[in-house]
C-alpha cells in the first residue's frame, strides 16, 4: 500500500484536463451535483482553490474551497474514489487546502461535515464549532 500512496499525485485541478473525472467522482458517490455538470463546472470555476488526486492521470480524489483570500476559507467538498478510500488520499487533499490557507494568516478554516465523515475531520485536527464556544447556523434543503 505504501507504494500506491507514493504513486498518487496531489495537484491543483485543471478543469480542461480533470473535469470529466471530477464529475465521475460526484456520480460515484451519488451526489446530486453530477446531475447538472454545467452547474458543477461553474461551481468549481467559481471556487477559490481546487485540488485533484491523480493516479496514472486518472482522477481518484477531489477537494475544493471558497475563500475571501484574507480571513476565512470554507471547504466545500472532499471526495475520494470508493475503491481508493482509507489510503491517506483524503488526508492529503485536505492538508493541501489547509496549507494553502494557513491559520497563521487566516482566522477560520470551516466546513460542514457529511454524516459519517466527522471522524475523518477530527483526525485532521478540525473540531466541532462548539469547542470554541461558537454555534454554527445553517439553512439547508433536505433533498440534496
Ligand atoms: C471522507 C473521505 C473523503 C475520507 O477519505 P479517505 O481517503 O478515505 O481518508 P484517509 O485515508 O485520508 O483517512 C485519514 C484518516 O481518517 C480516518 N478516516 C477516514 N474516513 C473516516 C471516517 N468516515 N470516519 C472516521 N475516520 C475516518 C482514516 O482511518 C485515517 O486515520 P489514520 O490517520 O489514523 O489512519 C472519503 O471517505 C470519501 O470520499 N467519502 C465520501 C464523500 C464524503 O462524505 N466526503 C466528505 C464530505 S463532508
pLDDT tens-digit profile of 87-136?
999 999 999 999 999 999 999 999 999 889 999 999 999 999 999 999 99
Confidence of residue 20 (pLDDT cuts 50, 70, 90): very high
Among 2, 115, 117, say which to mutate for ligand 1: greatest number of ligand atoms within 8 Å of CB.
117
For the chain, domains (ranges, CATH) are 2-132 (3.40.630.30)
Q: Within its chain, how far is the Cα of 101 from the centroid? A: 14
Residue (of 68, 67, 94) closest to 79 by Cα position: 94
Kindly list the distances between the CA atom of residue 141 and the CA atoms of 39, 40, 60, 77, in Å, as whole numbers in the listed order.
Answer: 17, 17, 28, 17
What is the pTM (predicted TM-score) of this model? Answer: 0.94
Confidence of residue 3 (pLDDT cuts 50, 70, 90): very low
Take atom 5 of ligand 1 and give the residue whose Cα is closest. 90
Rounded distance from Cα 112 to ligand 1 centre (Å):
14
Position 142 scores a pLDDT of 83
Residue 48 burial by Cβ neighbours in a 10 Å radius (0-12, 13-18, 19+)? middle
pLDDT tens-digit profile of 59-73?
999 999 999 999 999
In the DSSP assignment, the letter for residue 114 is P
Position 129 scores a pLDDT of 95
Question: Alpha-carbon distance 101 to 67, whole Å?
Answer: 9
Provide the 3-class DSSP secondary structure of residue 86.
Answer: coil
Position 6 scores a pLDDT of 60
Residue 140 burial by Cβ neighbours in a 10 Å radius (0-12, 13-18, 19+)? exposed
Kindly list the distances between the CA atom of residue 56 and the CA atoms of 4, 9, 10, 53, 96, in Å, as whole numbers in the listed order.
Answer: 11, 9, 12, 10, 20
Amino acid at each position: 500500500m505504501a507504494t500506491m500512496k507514493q504513486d498518487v499525485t496531489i495537484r491543483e485541478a485543471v478543469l480542461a484536463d480533470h473535469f470529466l473525472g471530477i464529475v465521475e467522482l460526484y456520480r460515484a458517490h451519488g451526489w446530486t451535483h453530477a446531475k447538472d455538470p454545467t452547474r458543477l463546472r461553474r461551481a468549481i470555476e467559481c471556487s477559490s482553490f481546487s485540488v485533484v488526486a491523480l493516479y496514472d492521470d486518472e482522477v481518484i480524489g477531489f477537494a475544493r474551497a471558497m475563500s475571501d483570500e484574507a480571513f476565512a476559507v470554507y471547504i466545500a467538498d472532499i471526495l475520494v474514489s470508493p475503491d481508493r478510500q482509507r489510503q491517506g488520499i483524503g488526508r492529503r487533499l485536505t492538508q493541501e487546502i489547509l496549507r494553502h490557507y494557513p491559520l497563521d494568516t487566516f482566522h477560520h478554516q470551516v466546513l460542514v461535515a457529511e454524516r459519517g465523515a466527522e471522524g475523518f475531520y477530527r483526525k485532521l485536527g478540525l473540531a466541532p464549532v462548539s469547542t470554541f464556544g461558537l454555534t454554527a447556523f445553517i439553512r439547508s434543503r433536505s433533498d440534496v
